Structure formats: structure tokens, C-alpha cells
Amino acid sequence: MAKLSPSILTADFTNLGEMLQVLERHPASGWLHLDVMDGAFVPNISFGPPVIRSLAGKTKLRFDVHLMVEEPGRFMADYVTENTEYLVVHQEACLHLDRTLQLIQSLGVKCGVALNPATPLSALEYVLDKVDQVLVMGVNPGFGGQSFLPVALAKMKALSEWRQARGLDFKIATDGGVNAGNLQEIAAAGADIIVVGSAITNAEDPSAVLEQFGSILEGGA
């Protein structure tokens, strides 16, 4: 069954500790998705290693770090904490993607590659057997609260078939525009890890939304 990877990008940072407690209490949350933006690869700046390090050890959620930065190899080691499970780089940001994936693995964490909506799956053909996660963007990266682009559904279905045909076992993740109305369809398209930002963190009752998402994933309401 798919699990959620809640993103705190648009959360209220003055209440982050409280939000983490809400997120980790619910069994539908598998990871904490951390969106790093550098104002160059994407037109927005979020947070970086100091914030991520300050969260490490304070939650039992594993970190799923999404690097929306140019030349992600430069500061890679700074994102490795006791909580870090995945370091995910963008295919479009890596001139030497294979080398960057090797670097992540050499740091003792799992590696992922994200694809922008316009990037074809074929860009991953020669690294697919090396990745632990493929992140199919449901929006153009940079901001929370955007609408889901259905092209991500077709990509996840094709990726799922590709994974089966090649006997691989990487996780399929999607990020952006997920809400209660499209969650079921997204899970059915083959997502194992579903990143959700504003629908949870900006809800009046984040706990209730997690509950609702959890039951949708379990095939309930």
C-alpha cells in the first residue's frame, strides 16, 4: 500500500514541532518530505541543511529530501542526517547523473531521481537499475499549492510497467497537487510514495486530513 510523504514546504514554521507530532502520529505517514530550493533551479528559495539538521533526531519520520537545486553534488553530504533515507536529485539539474547517484550511495543513503513534467522517462533509461526512487513531478517544481498535471499518471503507469519488465524494485513517488479528490487515482497509477504538502499542512485540521487520506489509501472513503 502507498504511503504518504508529507511536505512541510508551506507549513507554519513557527509551529513546526507541533506539525511534526501530528504527521508522525498517523500510520499513513511514511516519511517527511523536505523541499530544498535554491532560487536558481526553481524560482523560489526554501531552506537548506541547517534546518534539516535541526529536525534530525527530533522526529521518528525518515527524511525524503527533494533537492531542487543546481549542481546538487556540491553540498550533498550536508543533507545526510540520522533520519535521512532518500536524497532525491533532479535529472534536469545533473550533468553527470550517474556520478551524482554514486555519490549519494557512497554517503550511505538511498538515491532518487526526480523528473519534471516535461522530462521523458527515457532520460532514466541507463540509470534505472541504480535508483531507489523515481519521483514523478505532478507539478512544475518550485511552489506548493499548484494543480496536479495528469501527465504524471501516464508516466507512473509506464514506469510501473518498465519496473516489472526489468525486474527492478525502485519506489515510484509523485509530488505536487495531491488532494483528497485525486489521491485514489494517483495510488492506482502505481505510486508507492505520495508527497502531500498544502492539502495537509494548510488544512484547518491536518490530523483529520491525514485520517481521510489514510482511509482512501486503504480503499475506504
List interacting residues with Zn ion (CB under 5 A). Answer: 35, 66, 175
Provide the grid cell at 116.
519534471
8 Å CB contact between 139 and 118: no
Catalytic residue among 35, 64, 132, 192: 35
**Residue 163 carries which side chain, given as an amino acid letter?**
R
Q: How far is the CB of 221 from Zn ion (least distance, A)?
A: 27
Q: How far is the CB of 167 from ligand DX5 (least distance, A)?
A: 30
In this structure, what C-alpha cell is assigned to residue 74? 556540491
- Of the pair 66, 155, the CB lying nearest ligand DX5 is at 66
**Nearest alpha carbon to residue 112 among 54, 195, 38:** 195
Name which of residues 160 to 189 contact ligand DX5 (CB under 6 A): 175-178
Smallest separation, CB 37 to ligand DX5 (Å): 7
Query: CB-wise, 175 or 192, nearer to Zn ion?
Result: 175
Residue closer to ligand DX5, measured from CB, 33 or 155? 33
Q: Does 66 bind ligand DX5 (CB under 6 A)?
A: yes
Active site residue 98: no
The one catalytic residue among 38, 132, 175, 192: 175
Binding mask 17-46 for ligand DX5 (x = CB under 6 A): ----------------x-x-----------
Contact between 142 and ligand DX5 by CB under 6 A: the answer reads: yes
Residue 170 is classified by DSSP as P
**Strand ranges across the sheet with 31-37:** 3-6, 193-196, 171-175, 133-137, 110-115, 84-90, 62-68, 31-37
175 counts as catalytic: yes
Residues 6+ apart with CB under 8 A from 208: none
Strand, coil or helix: what is 70?
Answer: coil
Contacted entry of Zn ion, ligand DX5, none for residue 142, CB cut-off 5 to 8 Å set by kind = ligand DX5
Cβ partners under 8 Å of residue 192, min gap 6: 2, 3, 171, 172, 173
Question: Which residue ranges make up the site for ligand DX5 (CB under 6 A)?
Answer: 7, 9, 33, 35, 66, 139, 141-146, 175-178, 195-199
